[in-house]
Structure 1
Amino acid sequence: MRADRLHRIEKTWIRSLVRRRALRSYGEMTQRISRRFFLGGVAASVGLGPALADAPLVSLRPQLRPRQKPVPGAQKLIADAGLPGMVAFAVADVKSGVGLESINAGAGLPPASVAKALTALYALDTLGADHRFETRVFAEGPVENGILQGDLVLAGGADPTLDTEGLARLAANLKAAGVREVRGAFKVYDGVLPRIHSIDPGQPDHLGYSPAISGIALNFNRVHFEWKRGTSGYSVTMDARTANYRPQVAMSRMTVVSRRMPVYTYEPAPGMDRWTVASGALGGGGARWLPVRKPALYAGDVFQTLARSQGIVLDKVQVVQTAPTGRVLARHASAPLRDIVRGMLKYSTNLTAEMVGMAASSGRIGTPASLAESAAEMCRWATDAYGMSSTLLVDHSGLGDASRMAPRDLVGALVQVRRAGILRPLLKPFAMPDASGRLVKAGPVAVAAKTGTLNFVSGLGGFVTASDGTELAFAIFTADMERRSRLKRSQRERPEGARAWNGQSRGLQRKLIERWAKVYAKGHKA
């Protein structure tokens, strides 16, 4: 009772202070009324004495800790997203390997570019992280007094990163080797990989992310098309530009045609890629990269120009598939494979995925006849190495929508490779929302993952580290295959509704990751 009485006295006194408007500050108040005097008086009046000598001015009450906001379940997140099509995911604890949560985990859906994560593992395991691809220049005949009495061969070595800068160094090294003149033919060898017209023939001809493939590639098998409108019409250029070079390309030709649609047409012709573009779509000027359909001719065309700048004139390009047997005059080595696949995963370059994937298959079974055959060999390897028995791919890049991968398969592989420390250092950070909703790559929840996007198909697979250090492996695939199947070939560049659908899918992926980072963190309490 005495404590209750003390509490009432305290409240009455505090209210009286609030009413005293003349006290302008707490400092004035402490000058007029001695806290020690007040507390001593109150204590004496109730007989407590020194027991409250250090008591606060306001009595203490139990403070309720804020309750943790309930974390929505996965089914609710999926329902709230309202995403048409199928959602499939799996998540597991990396340390224990225990599966934590899944929906449709055994369902095979198109992985899109998430397939590149598997391709990276396949190439690294087969070829080795230090493997380098070599492009070489051969002399098939003797060099006498600076004159090659025979053929010169530019030999591709399946390097997906060869660019105009690399070819320029080869041309300079050819001159440094003492060659001033070539009396024989000029050949380009592309036989280390099969010739493939387009990674995915279902894509429109003009899309640069589905170029041709062969044993030699240049500038990711893309040519730079630029146009400018003048008083007498449009001027166009086709070149193989890089930072320091801009050689014109003769084997890829563009004609401006008076029409509105279609924007581009492509027609193969002897010794060249022949394009037309609609004048009604060009405006005042612009540029874009177009795919190359004859990679060996393209590389040969550009090398001719670069050799000419060194004073070496070469004959017309001949493309061959018979490996050269002469003496190597110059060579260009790529970066180590680990760096190549890191760039592939960061920029999601389809050509790199297909070339390193087929190069790996060549090391296992010999030169594959097609992308599908090479991808099938990779799937056999994945089944043996990681138990991915429900994964069936038609290529190494994920561009073909006939590929299927089960989230459970990928998560099982991710757990194993994370323990070996192989893949996560090569994956790029995946942005997550911070407290204000902004997407940031460095936050309390760290995600390293490979994204994948096709029209009405989205994938994400990788690793998430919660704020307490708990590490999870996950895979999320979403697809509206019915809507995708209705797309015509001409609609596949920017179909109506695809951007919004893929944005919804990305939002769902982030919410699922946020859920897992909270629910499966060791300190979380439901």
Structure 2
Amino acid sequence: MRHLVWKTLALWSTCCLLTLPLVAQQRPRVITNSDLQRSPTAVRNQIPSNRRSGPLEPVEEAQLPPVPLTLPDMVTARLLSYSRSIQPHGIYFEALDGTPVLSLNEGQMYNPASVTKVMTSMAALETLGVNYRYLTRVSYTGTIDWSTGTLTGDLVFSGEYDPSFSTESLFLIGEKLHEMGLRRVQGNLRIGSGMLLNLRSHPTVIGSEIISALDRTRWTPRMEALWNALRGIKVFSQMPTYQGIMISPGNVIADDHTTPRYPLLEYRSSPLLRILKSINAYSHNEMIHIVGARIGGAAGVRQYLIEKVKLSPQEFYLQTTSGLGHNAITPRATVKLIRYAVNWLAKQNLSLGELLPIAGIDNGTLQRRFTNPELVGSVIGKTGTLASTSTLAGILYTQKRGLLFFAILERGSPHSLRPLQEEIISMVAADSGGALPLALGSEMSPSLCEDAEVVERMAARTAHLVR
């Protein structure tokens, strides 16, 4: 009997062990959050078959809220679609309070190209002064008979390497000499030190142009066309007819600085700020080289950036004052320069638009860029272009974030990078509530001579006159 009981208990235990897995399979399965992210069909397939009898209640698919792309995400995606790498692109946008708005490789070094001209321009303004004027002096040797308006002697020109001195300047000088009573020079033309004319420095070339410009009977068709083109400008429209003076025989000689001479007049260029605005608008390399030479060249500009702008020597490298050659700077340091320029100009009651061109409005390299009505007048900056470099730095006015400082320094084809830069600025503007077109009119003059002055200097030579 005892043997039978033990046998029964063993059989019962075996049956329990065999049925335990089946019982476990009947336990309801808990649906997790990860299941909800899959399709309803996949979730239903996880429900035990013995509980699927009858109509199933519809299972709603979980709707996760879309994650909006951030400005850096959108810009990065656009750059990757362009070059498959973000390394060629250095971008930095910063708000007025110093908050970064967009940053990409902002600490890497890139060639700034002609954005370098902003460095040279600021160094020149702070060293020489906003209202600095280059002087060109006109004097004479011999005597003047004012009864006939005849100078018996030589006419002497000397200057201060004025990069803006041009044939237009000679028209103003010629008219002033005629107004003073001078009609003819019986002698030669002496070219002294520091003379530049249309950026040329050779005395013979300068002298030939001076004689032709002063004496209307010698005007070439080019000069006649230039004069006619200038008649709409205020300073030239005040001359009903151009008179000038005659020079004969008019040999051109280099001044030896030994023959006594007496002053006639001074030609004072337009203020330096006006000259620099034109240089930056048209990105004129030779003119900015001349300006830079006056303040010590690349070494002088480098010292200025370190001492005044407080750039670290590790943030930039400067070989030239124009942007030609090998120069380098980080986007962050470039923005620091632009911020410094805006603040310094504000202390002089000036705006950045008086130094750099307004995109879509001013003549020059930015004239046909940012012409979308929503962007015209909202970007003020300086372009830069080399064979495989395209850059843009300046300020952007926006609706919500206000004034933004920016620098875009890129390696690649300038032709394709320019529209890409406009896309990036459009993205930043849209993310900032839209652009704010504050600069609506150009203050650029069509002539660098419009604000020039011609001042008589006769007092010191009165004793040498024959009236």
Same fold per TM (> 0.5)? yes
- Equivalence for 2:252: 317
Where does residue 374 of structure 2 map in the other structure?
A: 443
Match of 1:395 in 2: 320
Deviations 1:451-479 (A, max 9, x none): 11122111100011223252211111112
Structure-1 separation of matches of 2:253 and 2:150: 20
Residue 189 of structure 1, CA deviation: 2.1
Using the alignment, how far apart are the partners of 2:375 and 2:112 within structure 1?
27
Matched residue type, 1:458: S
CA distance in 2, matches of 1:295, 1:425: 35
**Equivalent-residue separation in structure 1 for 2:284 and 2:178 (angstroms):** 33
| Larger radius of gyration between Structure 1 and Structure 2 | 2
Is 1:120 the counterpart of 2:121? The answer is yes
Matched with 2:464 is none
Q: For residues 287-306 of structure 1, what are the structure 2 equivalents within 5 Å?
A: 294-306=201-213
Contact 2:139 2:261 in 1 (8 A): yes
Q: Residue in 1 aligned with 2:400?
A: 468
1:131 partner letter:
Y
Of residues 197, 209, 225, the one that matches 1:217 is: 197
Q: Does the Cα contact within 8 Å between 2:399 and 2:432 map onto a contact in 1?
A: no
* Alignment partner of 1:341 is 2:342: no
Classify the secondary structure of the residue corresponding to 1:386. Answer: coil
Q: Which residue of 1 aligns with 2:88?
A: 86
- 2:160 is aligned, of 149, 152, 157, to 157
Contact 1:97/1:415 (8 A) holds in 2: no
- Secondary structure of the residue aligned to 1:312 is strand
Does the 8 Å CA contact 2:187/2:247 hold for their aligned counterparts? no
Q: Is 1:509 aligned to residue 412 of structure 2?
A: no
Measure, in 2, the Cα distance between the counterparts of 1:468 and 1:148: 67
- Deviation (angstroms), 1:375: 1.7
Q: Secondary structure at the match of 1:335?
A: coil
Aligned to 2:329: 405
Matched, 1:76 2:11: no
Contact 1:156 1:217 in 2 (8 A): no
Give the conservation status (yes or no) of the 8 Å contact 2:188–2:248: no
1:383 corresponds to which of 306, 310, 332:
306
**Residues 338/168 of structure 1: CA separation in 2 closer, same or farther (3 Å cut):** same
1:416 alignment partner in structure 2:
340
AA paired with 2:89? V
Letter in 1 for 2:197: A
Equivalences for residues 244-263 of structure 1 within 5 A: none
Residue 521 of structure 1, CA deviation? 5.7
Measured at CA, do residues 347 and 69 of structure 1 come closer, stay the same or move farther in structure 2, by a change above 3 Å? same
- Rate the CA distance shift 1:178–1:82 in 2: closer, same or farther, 3 A: same
Q: Which residue of 2 aligns with 1:174?
A: 177
Q: Distance in 1 between matches of 2:260 and 2:80?
A: 63
Give 5+ residue unaligned stretches, structure 2: 1-64, 217-244, 362-368, 435-467
| Structure 2 SS opposite 1:109 | coil
Q: Could you say if the C-alpha distance between residues 344 and 318 of structure 1 is closer, same or farther in structure 2, counting changes exceeding 3 Å?
A: same
Once residues 171 and 312 of structure 1 are traced to their aligned partners in structure 2, the CA distance between those partners, rounded to angstroms, is 11
Q: How does 1:471-486 map to 2 (within 5 A)?
A: 471-480=403-412
Change (3 A) 1:114 1:321: farther
Are residues 325 and 466 of structure 1, via their aligned partners in 2, closer, same or farther at CA, if it must alter by over 3 Å?
Answer: farther
Inter-partner Cα distance in structure 2 for 1:316 and 1:307: 14
Conserved? CA contact 2:95–2:401, under 8 Å: no
TM-fit CA distance, 1:124: 1.6
From 340, 357, 372, the equivalent of 1:428 is 357
Aligned-pair distance for 1:386? 0.9
Aligned residues between the structures = 323
What secondary structure, in the 3-state scheme, does the structure 2 residue paired with 1:313 have?
strand
* 3-state SS of paired residue (1:341): helix
Equivalent AA in structure 2 for residue 428 of structure 1: P
After TM superposition, give the deviation of residue 328 of structure 1 in Å: 2.0
Which residue identity lines up with residue 302 of structure 2 in the other structure? Answer: C
- Are the structure 2 counterparts of residues 419 and 174 from structure 1 closer, same or farther at C-alpha, using a change threshold of 3 Å? closer
Letter of the structure 1 residue corresponding to residue 173 of structure 2: L
Task: Describe the SS at the equivalent of 1:448.
Answer: strand
Counterpart residue type for residue 440 of structure 1 = T
Partner of 2:112: 111
Note closer, same or farther for the CA distance 1:387–1:351 as it changes in structure 2 (3 Å cut): same
Partner of 1:265: none
Q: Pick closer, same or farther for the CA change 1:321–1:380 going to 2, 3 Å.
A: farther
Classify 1:464/1:181 alpha carbon distance in 2 versus 1 (closer, same or farther; 3 Å): closer
Cα displacement (A) at 1:102: 2.8
Distance 2:397 2:258 in 1: 49
Secondary structure at the counterpart of residue 159 of structure 1 = coil
Q: Which amino acid aligns with 2:108?
A: A
* Separation in 2, partners of 1:413, 1:381: 11
> Is the contact between residue 186 and residue 248 of structure 2 (CA under 8 Å) also seen in structure 1?
no
Moved more, 307-316 or 127-136: 307-316
